Amino acid sequence: MANPETSWADAERIVFDMLLTKTGATEGKNAWLGMLPPGVTNCWSLNTGGGDARSTWAGDGCYGSLRIGGEIRGRYQVRADAQKLASQLIDLLSEKKNFFHIKHLQWFRIASGGMPTVQSDTFVPANSQGKVRGCYIVTIGCEMIYNRSDEY
């Protein structure tokens, strides 16, 4: 049953748990819900939210459904590992059945224009006394559609 006060967090958790299962990642070790922690590499995160009022409330014509933006972001020491995550997620998110009609989650998919990008960046590793290192950031734009109530 969808609770309007927790439906966003509940739908996001459904997606995150499925991503953990499908990628073999472990929450708090190499995957986070929300932002990536500073100083950590070889990991990814899921964060949802945002969008504009017209497309958010229009949903797909479903009363009580919302469409919001999302992002999967990874930080890796090796470019090939960033590309591997991107490829894994493209395959996973391309299959409609993987994230379609699960409890009150209607859909989670790659957003229009959200195809993966891999860019070089820098970060300061934990316990490195401030030494800067190179890394690769992979970003995949997504969208999530979920029901705020059971009436839609």
What b-and-e string marks burial along 106-145, b requiring 16 or more CB atoms within 10 Å of the CB?
Answer: bbbbbbeebebebeeeebebeeeeeeeeebbbbbbbbbbb
Contact 71, 50 (CB under 8 A): no
pTM for the full predicted model: 0.86
Percentage of the chain exceeding pLDDT 70: 87
pLDDT at 2 over 70: no
Between 113 and 18, the more confident residue is: 18
Q: Please, what are the domains in the chain?
A: 7-147 (3.30.70.1700)
pLDDT of residue 55: 57
Burial of 105 (0-12, 13-18, 19+ CB in 10 A): buried
pLDDT of residue 1: 58
pLDDT of residue 76: 96
User: What confidence tier does 151 reach under pLDDT thresholds 50, 70, 90?
Assistant: low
User: What confidence tier does 48 reach under pLDDT thresholds 50, 70, 90?
Assistant: very high
pLDDT 10s digits, 85-123? 999 999 888 877 778 888 888 889 888 888 889 999 988
Per the prediction, the chain carries an average pLDDT of: 85
pLDDT 10s digits, 59-70? 455 667 788 899
Burial of 51 (0-12, 13-18, 19+ CB in 10 A): middle
β-pairing, 31-33 with 105-110?
Answer: unpaired
User: What confidence tier does 147 reach under pLDDT thresholds 50, 70, 90?
Assistant: confident
pLDDT of residue 53: 53
Among residues 117, 143, 140, which one has the least CA distance to residue 11? 143
